[in-house]
A and B are shown apart, each in its own frame.
Chain A
Amino acid sequence: GAVVSQHPSRVICKSGTSVKIECRSLDFQATTMFWYRQFPKQSLMLMATSNEGSKATYEQGVEKDKFLINHASLTLSTLTVTSAHPEDSSFYICSASFRNSVGNTIYFGEGSWLTVV
């Protein structure tokens, strides 16, 4: 199937600093990518929809100025957690939609563990 890659897989940052997570579609073009957050023992929660060449759409309760999303090309979306705090520590996952002859399937990246100390 289609491949979506995230980097870094794990990152530790100091409180108050910013950290960037990349999401790449390796063998297909994705006009739309999605960013999720998952806390331990909980399900995935959609944070925002990343649209290539336009502003991201954020879910209710997600601060757009804190979680900056840039989708500058058809294969790359980035999520920047600005002024990170310990409560931002979580598992961040991106996904991208791949359309083929059997329909529209969403593939996920491996996820990125963020720890803010």
Chain B
Amino acid sequence: DAKTTQPPSMDCAEGRAANLPCNHSTISGNEYVYWYRQIHSQGPQYIIHGLKNNETNEMASLIITEDRKSSTLILPHATLRDTAVYYCIVRVSPGANNLFFGTGTRLTVIP
């Protein structure tokens, strides 16, 4: 699976949009971009995934650049409960089911 690069930490004011970047410059054509988050002392939670088109669900939006070498996860109105470590992962789907977790971005939502 392609390697990803994320900033180690970010802050966001409560109620504002949180934009979390991810670089995946070596992504292959059949690899998807997945986002998970892990709130302290809990298992990772699936957020969203996409291949090349932008995606939106009830939790977030995923913006993937046209060359697919980077993406941004957007939490439109961050709340204190969104404080967590966010992981950007690229993998083939379907295919090898394992997920490789990097260090992620620790997002802190500030009141």
Contact = CB atoms under 8 A, between A and B. Distances in A.
Contacts of B36: 108
Interface string B22-46: 0000000000101010100111111
B9 interface: no
Contacts of A103: 32, 49, 93-94
Interface stretch (B60-68, B69-77, B99-107): B99-107
A106 B100 CA distance: 12
B44 to A, nearest CB: 5
B77 to A, nearest CB: 21
Contacts of B102: 43
A1 B43 CA distance: 14
The DSSP consensus for interface residues of chain A is: strand
Given A43-B102, A43-B103, A108 B97 contact: no
Contacts of B104: 43
Nearest to A108: B43
A107 B46 contact: yes
Given A43-B102, A95-B99, A110 B94 contact: no
A111 B43 contact: yes
B107 to A, nearest CB: 15
Interface of A: 1, 4, 6, 32, 34, 36, 43-46, 49, 91, 93, 95, 97, 99, 103-111, 113
18 contacts: A36-B101, A43-B87, A43-B103, A43-B104, A44-B44, A44-B101, A45-B101, A46-B99, A49-B98, A91-B41, A93-B43, A99-B94, A103-B94, A105-B49, A109-B43, A110-B43, A111-B41, A113-B41
